[in-house]
Amino acid sequence: MVFNPERFDFVIAVCVLGSMSKSTWERKFDVYNKCGWSENEILEAFRRNPVVMACSEDKIKAVMDFLVNGMGFQASSVAKQPHVLGLSMEKRIVPRGLFVKDLISKGLLEKQMRPRMFRITEKLFLKRFVYCYGEEKASELLKLYNEKLELAAGGEA
């Protein structure tokens, strides 16, 4: 694991490492390991996005459970997109995940999805997953997506 000291990620890594004890680091390392990440994947994820080790253990478990068990992603594919761990479950991960599962069940998408879909901007997500189906279908899909957003935020859809 090599950091370039001229990059901002280096500063973040130093801050993250300095903010926790060795036992906390080891506990989080163990959580990622139990979620299916290898030692190399954990270290590479930390190099790519040091904030992954600043996430709470509960957040790590919740995100990994949803993505691996709920969405069917491989743990290793999540490890390659570590920024996903820093996203909001309620505002981004759950609504997009549920929406994409609906698209798959309707036969509008293939099952081969990547965790990268959680990182893209809202505008790009809507362009790729809603507006690409034409005006009539897009209206229906936008309504469905908004229902998923409301549901994830704790409302009733």
* pLDDT digits 0-9 by tens, 136-155: 899 999 999 999 999 888 86
Residue range of the domain that includes 128: 89-152
> What global pTM score does this model have?
0.86
Tens-digit pLDDT profile for residues 74-110: 999 999 999 999 999 999 999 999 999 999 999 998 8
* 7 vs 55, more confident: 55
- Residue 157: inside a domain: no
Highest mean pLDDT among 12-16, 54-58, 113-117: 54-58
Tens-digit pLDDT profile for residues 106-119: 999 887 778 889 99
Q: Are residues 73 and 120 in the same domain?
A: no
- Residue 146: inside a domain: yes
Domain count along the chain: 2
Q: Are residues 68 and 119 in the same domain?
A: no
141's enclosing H/E stretch is: helix 135-152
Long-range contacts of 99-102 (CB under 8 A, 24+ apart): 99/129, 99/144, 99/145, 99/148, 100/71, 100/129, 101/71, 102/144, 102/148
Name the domain boundary from 81, 101, 134: 81
Of the candidates 73, 63, 61, the one whose C-alpha atom is nearest the C-alpha of residue 31 is 61
- Residue 1: inside a domain: no
Q: Compute the mean pLDDT over every residue in the chain, rounded to the nearest whole number.
A: 91
Q: Are residues 77 and 93 in the same domain?
A: no
